[in-house]
Amino acid sequence: MTYDETIEYLYNSAPMFQKVGSSAYKEGMENSFRIDAHLNHPHRQYKTIHVGGTNGKGSVSHLLASILQEAGYKVGLYTSPHLLDFRERIKINGEMISKEFIVDFIARHKDFFESIQPSFFELTTGMAFAYFAEQAVDVAIIEVGLGGRLDCTNVITPVLSIITNISFDHTNLLGSTLTAIAGEKAGIIKPGVPVVIGEAEGEVEVFFKELKELKPLKPLKIFAQEQNLITSSKLLPSGYWEMETNLYPGLIDELGGFAQEKNAATVLCAVDILKKDIFTIPPKAVYKGFRYVIENTGLMGRWQIIQYHPKMVMDTGHNVGGIQYIVQQLKAERYEKLHIVFGMVNDKDISSVLALLPKEATYYFTQASIPRALDAAKLAEQAAAFGLKGTVFHTVDDAFLAAKHYATEKDFIFVGGSTFVVADALLLIKNT
């Protein structure tokens, strides 16, 4: 098969959560362990860092990869979903996995995969682990796909586990309470492995319970109890964060979203653990890792400024935990009129998100080009109940172009609500 045929085979032969949602989710880890054994446990050939949580997993993973890369290590990075290219999911030092490896990997293991019928994510995880082994990475940052306890990435025994935060998302699969969701996320905690927890709030007891059951364990780190980790911060005209910390004064973070201050604290705490007896991470690597994270890793869609005059920003935040920061940041912006290109997928808490959105905006309700997308007309109908007014567009392209047409130089355009709305908009920009 050619590369294009191989990718089409991947999408069609294994159910893909990105496109169809919960019907692609396979509960249990039997296939994950079978794939891992079939590939001879490739993840055991390098160190791993496991990153779970509801929001911020991608930012934290990319920041850590950037820092370790600047420290001189060969760093694998496995994240999901992708925006424009399947190969975004699997990178080494910012370079996407080769097309040749993907074609060869599927050709060599096709019969085995067809015998066990894995999900798309189970198959892709095996591919990532095998690629990192073949390329002899020093360390791989592994982002949890969904949950943690039963996620197929949970076959690894990392040198550090990170749980960024707990918020409502995928409640149909992970549970309808924060305690239940925290319990699933806590499933990546392992005996003898240090843990960083970004935000826990009332769910901290879930993690303590998990830790007690897994003694002996190295000290647990909880940011809410860390004193003066980031002593002050401000957004620069460039859109970057400038943060003051005891160890890294004047730290510049290229990721400018309001949520990034807490993500930065998570990363700094992780670095503190990693540099003690696992990696050599000089201060210069931390500074450059934060400052050049986008250049080093290719990260997209995190308060990504597309243009000025009018200013246009895209962000993949898609649940209450993520949208609340976006709304705060929109309030801090200065503009004459606010235009919002907005769409969601049908398995999210739509009402809770709509309740947060600003009423003083013109909306371009739309739907991404995936089966999971919520119908734009239905979204507009639900939004009207919250005082949100706008026009329905059945493609992101049409909504995006309309917003650009009606916005003046002094206006502000925001594109988001779903990772896949951002993906469609970025693809349009790429192709025009």
**59, 30: one domain:** yes
Domain around 92 = 3-297
**318, 244: one domain:** no
Q: 42-77 burial string, b = 16+ CB within 10 Å, else e?
A: bbeebbbbbbbbbbbbbbbbbbbbbbbbbbebbbbb
Q: Looking at residue 228, what is its pLDDT?
A: 54
Q: What percent of the chain has pLDDT over 70?
A: 87
β partners of residue 160? 49
C-alpha pair distances (Å), 335 with each of 234, 241, 396: 20, 21, 23
**185, 231: one domain:** yes
Q: What is the mean pLDDT of residues 291-314?
A: 96
β partners of residue 360? none
Q: Between 185 and 1, where is the model more confident?
A: 1
Q: Could you read off the pLDDT of 29-42 as tens digits, one per residue?
A: 899 999 999 999 99
In this structure, of 16-25, 62-71, 366-375, the range with the lowest mean pLDDT score is 16-25
Q: What percent of the chain has pLDDT over 90?
A: 69
**266, 152: one domain:** yes
**169, 192: one domain:** yes
Q: What is the mean pLDDT of residues 227-236?
A: 80
Contact assessment for residue 163 and residue 206, using Cβ atoms and an 8 Å cutoff: no
Contact assessment for residue 199 and residue 242, using Cβ atoms and an 8 Å cutoff: no
The CATH number of the domain holding residue 278 is: 3.40.1190.10
Q: 146-182 burial string, b = 16+ CB within 10 Å, else e?
A: bbbbbbbbbbbebbbbbbbbbbbbbbebbbeebeebb
Contact assessment for residue 169 and residue 418, using Cβ atoms and an 8 Å cutoff: no
Q: Which domain-ending residue is among 276, 297, 318? A: 297
d(Cα 166, Cα 216) in Å, to the nearest integer? 25
Residue 227 has pLDDT above 70, yes or no: no
**118, 213: one domain:** yes
Contact assessment for residue 335 and residue 311, using Cβ atoms and an 8 Å cutoff: yes
**150, 87: one domain:** yes
Q: What is the mean pLDDT of residues 381-407?
A: 98
Q: Which domain-ending residue is among 297, 315, 330? A: 297
Residue 24 has pLDDT above 50, yes or no: no
In the structure, what pLDDT confidence band is assigned to residue 13 with cuts at 50, 70 and 90?
Answer: confident
Tokens standing for 320? 């209450």
**247, 331: one domain:** no
Q: Could you read off the pLDDT of 263-289 as tens digits, one per residue?
A: 999 999 899 999 988 999 999 999 999
Q: Which domain-ending residue is among 241, 267, 297? A: 297
**72, 105: one domain:** yes
Contacts of 177 (CB under 8 A, 6+ apart): none
β partners of residue 134? none
Residue 208 has pLDDT above 80, yes or no: no
Contacts of 101 (CB under 8 A, 6+ apart): 131, 134
Tokens standing for 31? 């296939």
Q: Looking at residue 238, what is its pLDDT?
A: 87
Contact assessment for residue 393 and residue 402, using Cβ atoms and an 8 Å cutoff: yes
Q: Between 26 and 86, where is the model more confident?
A: 86
**194, 144: one domain:** yes
The CATH number of the domain holding residue 354 is: 3.90.190.20
Contact assessment for residue 53 and residue 166, using Cβ atoms and an 8 Å cutoff: yes
**How many domains does the chain contain in total?**
2
ω before 219 within 30° of 0 (cis)? no
Q: Looking at residue 225, what is its pLDDT?
A: 44
In the structure, what pLDDT confidence band is assigned to residue 27 with cuts at 50, 70 and 90?
Answer: low
**281, 325: one domain:** no
**267, 317: one domain:** no
In this structure, of 2-6, 196-200, 319-323, 372-376, the range with the lowest mean pLDDT score is 196-200
